[in-house]
Amino acid sequence: MVTTVIKQLLPGYVKHPALSTVRWYYQMLGLPAQSRTDRSIFKDVLLKLDNPEIRVFEWGSGASTVYYAEFLRAQGLKFEWHAQDNSQAWWGKVQERVAKARLSEQVSIYCSEFPAFFELPDYTYDTPVPPKEYTNSAIATEYVHRPKYLGGQFDVLFIDGRFRRRCLQVAAEVVSANGIVILHDADRSHYLSALDIYPKVQFLETGMVPGISQTSNVALAGLESSNLFTEISEKYRDFWPSGKQG
């Protein structure tokens, strides 16, 4: 018992030195916390959009914000990238990365600051559901509804932040007819009800995330008219996880 407690208190780089080294290496390269197949899917989606200027919205800013914006720039594509976060400190760090990469004209990051639900003082594993005053607060609503405030439609929406079910609902309202919504960590069963509003959904198990001992899962979602969804899902359909086809 004592040994178990001590292990839990040890920092990650002591308990899992190999994983920590890989994670550090990927962070040094500026790679997002995604599997190789994740990155391949995201790049394919961005490259296959047939628009003079691509509009992207992302819930949960980070290395992915700069990585894919740099990718689009390297391809000579015109784009505007919008990202939403809930941490002022993290927002500042990502802003610095965006400025350093000279992407400030194409990338806009917004912050609606509130703590993650597991950071709330009354949170426990036995009572994980946050109070309604947290989930229904004005700042949480601002976070979720940000793309609607910006006007127009988006070709791609990445969901990898807070309130993912509610973000899925908003994404369905603002995704373009041939656009696509990508949900990261899609293996969590409580996301499934929000995906039911999309005519087209495909789950993909995309391999291990470097430096993290877990398998990546994404869900692709699109409207009935989305040819892009059909093309991408056909290419990667061999990655269906068991029990999630349909």
CB 209 within 8 A of CB 63: no
Q: Distance between CA 149 and CA 63 in Å, rounded?
A: 24
Q: How far apart are CA 132 and CA 32, in angstroms?
A: 32
Which pLDDT does position 2 carry in this prediction? 44
Q: What is the pLDDT of residues 19-47, one digit of tens each?
A: 444 444 445 556 898 999 999 999 999 99
Q: pLDDT averaged over consecutive 10-residue blocks of the chain (246 residues)? A: 45 44 50 91 94 96 97 98 97 97 98 88 71 84 98 97 95 97 89 92 86 81 93 80 41
Q: What burial class does residue 1 get, using C-beta atoms within 10 Å of its C-beta: 0-12 exposed, 13-18 middle, 19+ buried?
A: exposed
| pTM of the complete model | 0.84
- Could you give all domains of the chain from N- to C-terminal order, each with its CATH number? 1-29 (no CATH), 31-239 (3.40.50.150)
Could you read off the pLDDT of 154-167 as tens digits, one per residue? 999 999 999 999 99
